[in-house]
Chains A and B, each alone.
Chain A
Amino acid sequence: DAMVIQNPRYQVTQFGKPVTLSCSQTLNHNVMYWYQQKSSQAPKLLFHYYDKDFNNEADTPDNFQSRRPNTSFCFLDIRSPGLGDAAMYLCATSKTSGSVRDRDTQYFGPGTRLTVL
């Protein structure tokens, strides 16, 4: 089945130790998103790739970087995690072709829960 896969599902890191979260998709969607979701809060968009074009949200800290080496993969790098970065990180994809509904549907991965010690 076509899907969005995130690895690992659970990640524990130490304060200040760089960490990379990965996302892959078999949907062949051209848009990929990274969200941060803290407990009982809405997912907060960090950045997204529209094809190869990187779009950073204005309030995304510099500590967060992303790479998209090809259509299928996207990485979230946290250079120096702080305690406040502990959260669920969600990857999502969408496409900009097809019906209006197709274009508006975001497909989410299961998330990676990051713990910072």
Chain B
Amino acid sequence: QKEVEQDPGPLSVPEGAIVSLNCTYSNSAFQYFMWYRQYSRKGPELLMYTYSSGNKEDGRFTAQVDKSSKYISLFIRDSQPSDSATYLCAMSAFYGQNFVFGPGTRLSVLP
């Protein structure tokens, strides 16, 4: 079993839809959770950061962490074509090091 699992997609949605992206993980020691967005031929950029369980909202993005289920989600409201990218979840047990990434979900938002 991979340490972090993520549906690779591709996921295609119409503009304005609510998008749900998910990761599951096996290491119960993970406590720092991040979502990165990666446009084609670019490096990943940090979107959301969450420590331990709970929800965090930033504009159209909401990150949820359920440590009991070892499940994290990223919701995108009112999705835009500019949201079309690959979304990578990443997590670590210890701050600053030993990040583990999921393989990414490729999202296409169709105008």
| Chain A interface residues toward B at CB < 8 A | 4, 6, 31, 40-43, 45, 48, 50, 88, 90-92, 94-96, 100-101, 103-111, 113
Contacts and interface: CB of A to CB of B under 8 A. Distances in A.
Interface of B: 4, 8, 32, 34, 36, 41-46, 49, 51, 88, 90, 92, 95-97, 99, 101-104, 106
12 contacts: A4-B43, A31-B96, A43-B44, A43-B88, A90-B44, A100-B51, A101-B51, A106-B99, A108-B44, A108-B45, A111-B42, A113-B41
A40 B42 contact: no
A102 B31 CA distance: 15
Given A43-B88, A90-B44, A92-B43, 14 more contacts: A40-B8, A42-B88, A42-B101, A42-B102, A96-B96, A103-B95, A104-B49, A104-B92, A104-B95, A105-B46, A106-B99, A108-B43, A108-B44, A109-B43
Nearest to B51: A100
Contacts of A42: 4, 88, 101-104
Contacts, number: 64
Contacts of B32: 100, 104
A101 B34 CA distance: 10
